[in-house]
Amino acid sequence: MVYEKIKNLIVILFISAILILSVFSFNIKTNFETNLAKAILPNNITSSSDMLDVTNKYSSVIKVVFEDKEGNSEKLKSKFQNNINKDFFEPINNDFKKLINEYLKHPTNFLSDKTLGLLKNEEYEIVKQNALEAIYNPAGIPLTELDKDPYLLFMDYLTSLNNTNMSDDENIYDYCILKIKNGNGLSPDLINTQIKELIKVQKSLTTDSQKIYLAGTPIHSYYTSEKASVSINIICFLTTILIIFLTFLYFKSIKVLIPVMFSIITGFWTGFIITKMCFGTFHLITLVFATTLIGIGIDYSYHYLFSEKKDKTLFKNLTYSMLTTVAAFVLLYFTNIELLQQISIFTVSGLITIYLFVICIYPCIKFPKPIKQINLKIGKAGFWIICCLLILSCTGFIKLSFDDSLSAFYTPSKKLLNAEMLFNKVAGQENRNMQIITIKGENLQTILEREEELTETDNIKYYSISKFIPSIKKQNESIKYVEKLYKNNLNSFNNILSKQQIEKLMHQESNSVEIDINEYPYLKDFMLNENTSIMFIYSEIQDIKDKINAEYTEIINFNNDVTSYLNKYRIKLLKMIPLVFITVFIMLCFIFKPIKAVKMIIPQLSACIFSIGILSLTGQDLNLFSIISLFLIIGFTIDYSIFRADRNSETAVFVSCLTTSFSFLALSFTGFKLISSISIILFIGIITSYIVGLYLLSQNTKE
């Protein structure tokens, strides 16, 4: 009587919760996240905000390269920019015409680092010789009159700003940067819609002689999400076909599928709503992984349908199965990685919903009995199979290696990789040793001076706001050295300049000028915020290491820092695995006899060891997510041992293993290294656990 009352209360609460969620779901706006960085980075990847700010800043930047074999790349760029949605995309052009006009008003304020170094060492003859070579160069076109700048110092300064490596056929290539307006505050769905339109513009302007290349994080995210949609559709289709086939095979009717599929849909929908409530967004990679809920959640239906007795033992086993699987997924939440946290919340809420659906709704439905049951036996062959698994595992562990780099989780397509490389070459950023440094200061002048202190060493290659705007301090220094140059060497130009022109230059007054960067979007783009700038260093960081002040300078090494954090989390999880096995074993000892508990835990232990060993044997490096897979193997397969405690559950265990392993096998073929690396381990582990359990846990033995 008490049991029935509790059961009825659970049914009422379950139906009420579903109704409340149904009403609440109408007010939730679907917002899919596609940023890969947010998917795999730990939430507290750095104690400083600079790395996350830099990542966010460039996550809304699209890099565009224009190629015109007829030499009209600038015209192609103009066409492209006229056809894009300027309400959404803001072009940041490398157009310095307005800035050059500002320079021309004060030509002696701007000296290249090379020329300034020569003047400091009073090497006037070299400066003069460089000027004469430029004056008599038939291909050279002075931008200023000689009576205003006889040494062509301003022209030398402009030449030093050219960071490009495309010295040949320069007119064939041009580039620009598009920034998504309020990119971090927009929904990924809206961004992807606009990028789709941008790609249409790209294709419409592409001919045999004209090509446009798109690169940058939003472009990678767009193609990733497109691939995700295809993967989701294929996996759902194949898994559904398998379920229909198995249902018809065992029940000779597909009517059974109506409540079964409804339980899956309810669990999927509940998981989606709760995940949205917890995170505000739903990552598309989470959605790809979430398709495995079909294979996992249907286990409860199969165990119910294939059980001859719908008694307390069945509901007890269903409860144990749900709790162990949920416990495995709960652990993912504590990895502090949002993607895995989303998978954790989605799967836990989805599985609990499916479990409640089965125990609350199924008893109200009259299901047909299965027309056949299987009684698989592995016999003595099981011993030799386990021996082979052990040998292969030991061999694999000899070759065990780890790779915690970002490349282990995502490899861009050849098309996108080529676009990235071309942009770096055209924009003069082609250097594998590039480092990003952030500089903090009370105001722009302080920032400029600190940047100049870092780069005053000879042969430092860099790209920053101070390369285009010298500080007031440096301008005054340049003016002083130019005045000294004129005083000591200008008379040697008497064959080019008149006496009056020489006198005028020697006595002219020059003043520093403060340039407002708000009028120059390209320059303002170097600022992370009002008090922080971004520098790109193309030389070895060791060359300036002694000048780096930790109080206001931070080296942003994205790949190294991420690798370090992923390595730290991997080691942390490795240490947790023995604790998980001990915890599960203790739970099993309370539920079953200790001897049986040992037999029930060995399949999971074997599965973990063999899946890692076989991947190492095939030359694949392991990573953080490989270790996380071990937790999932325990959660997915412990219920096989639990249900084998029931003598009538071998068919349900077999079908459950088949559908679950098939889901992960399908996922292992996706284009996401992150998901496929988890899925292949889970597939191997689930199959291994099933085989070992089939040998150790005889369904005809009751202990």
- For every residue of 638-700, DSSP letters joined together read HHHHHHHTSTT-HHHHHHHHHHHHHHHHHHTTSS-HHHHHHHHHHHHHHHHHHHHHHHHS-TT
Give the whole-number percent of the chain exceeding pLDDT 90: 5
For the beta carbon of residue 386, count every other beta carbon within 10 angstroms.
19
Q: How much is the average pLDDT of 96-107?
A: 76
Q: How much is the average pLDDT of 397-411?
A: 78
- Separation of alpha carbons 516 and 527, rounded Å: 13
What letter represents residue 595's amino acid? I
Of 321 and 188, the one with more pLDDT:
321
Give the whole-number percent of the chain exceeding pLDDT 70: 83
The DSSP output letter for 546 is G
Does pLDDT of 61 surpass 80? yes
Q: How much is the average pLDDT of 440-458?
A: 86
Does pLDDT of 22 surpass 50? yes
Strand order in the sheet with 173-180: 89-93, 173-180, 61-68, 210-215
* Contact between residue 674 and residue 40 where contact means Cβ atoms under 8 Å apart: yes
Instruction: Please tell me the predicted confidence (pLDDT) of residue 166.
Output: 46
pTM summary value:
0.73
Spell out the residues 6+ positions from residue 446 whose beta carbon is closer than 8 angstroms to its own.
none
Instruction: Please tell me the predicted confidence (pLDDT) of residue 202.
Output: 92
Does pLDDT of 623 surpass 80? yes
Q: How much is the average pLDDT of 50-54?
A: 74
Does pLDDT of 430 surpass 70? no
Instruction: Please tell me the predicted confidence (pLDDT) of residue 204.
Output: 92
Highest mean pLDDT range out of 226-235, 324-333, 350-359, 647-656?
A: 350-359
For the beta carbon of residue 662, count every other beta carbon within 10 angstroms.
20
Instruction: Please tell me the predicted confidence (pLDDT) of residue 414.
Output: 84
Q: How much is the average pLDDT of 660-674?
A: 77
Highest mean pLDDT range out of 79-93, 170-184, 397-411, 541-555?
A: 79-93
Q: How much is the average pLDDT of 165-184?
A: 70
* Contact between residue 544 and residue 34 where contact means Cβ atoms under 8 Å apart: no
What is the average pLDDT value for the chain, to the nearest integer?
Answer: 79
* Contact between residue 95 and residue 203 where contact means Cβ atoms under 8 Å apart: no
266-278 pLDDT tens trace: 888 888 888 888 8
Sign of CA dihedral 673, 677, 682, 687: positive
Instruction: Please tell me the predicted confidence (pLDDT) of residue 445.
Output: 92
464-521 pLDDT tens trace: 888 888 899 998 988 888 888 888 888 887 778 788 888 888 888 888 888 888 888 7
- Separation of alpha carbons 223 and 413, rounded Å: 9
Does pLDDT of 213 surpass 90? yes
What letter represents residue 445's amino acid? Q
Spell out the residues 6+ positions from residue 684 whose beta carbon is closer than 8 angstroms to its own.
607, 610, 611, 614, 615
User: Sorting pLDDT into bands at 50, 70 and 90, what band is 214?
Assistant: very high
Highest mean pLDDT range out of 131-140, 300-309, 607-616?
A: 607-616
Instruction: Please tell me the predicted confidence (pLDDT) of residue 172.
Output: 83
The DSSP output letter for 537 is E
Instruction: Please tell me the predicted confidence (pLDDT) of residue 46.
Output: 46
Task: Return the minimum-mean-pLDDT range out of 66-80, 261-275, 386-400, 544-558.
Answer: 544-558
Q: Name the 3-class secondary structure at 508.
A: coil
Instruction: Please tell me the predicted confidence (pLDDT) of residue 95.
Output: 62
Q: What are phi and psi of 175, to 5 degrees?
A: -155, 160
Of 558 and 623, the one with more pLDDT:
623
Instruction: Please tell me the predicted confidence (pLDDT) of residue 702.
Output: 44
| Whole-angstrom Cα Rg for the chain | 34
Q: How much is the average pLDDT of 666-686?
A: 80
Q: How much is the average pLDDT of 455-459?
A: 71
- Whose tokens are 């150790």? That residue is 696
Of 215 and 364, the one with more pLDDT:
215
Instruction: Please tell me the predicted confidence (pLDDT) of residue 40.
Output: 64
Highest mean pLDDT range out of 37-41, 258-262, 546-550?
A: 258-262
Of 672 and 54, the one with more pLDDT:
54
Instruction: Please tell me the predicted confidence (pLDDT) of residue 201.
Output: 92
User: Sorting pLDDT into bands at 50, 70 and 90, what band is 168?
Assistant: very low
**581's tokens:** 């096995």
For the beta carbon of residue 51, count every other beta carbon within 10 angstroms.
21
Instruction: Please tell me the predicted confidence (pLDDT) of residue 402.
Output: 85
Task: Return the minimum-mean-pLDDT range out of 161-170, 517-526, 557-566, 645-654.
Answer: 161-170
Q: What is the largest CA-CA distance in the chain?
A: 117
Task: Return the minimum-mean-pLDDT range out of 81-85, 399-403, 554-558.
Answer: 554-558
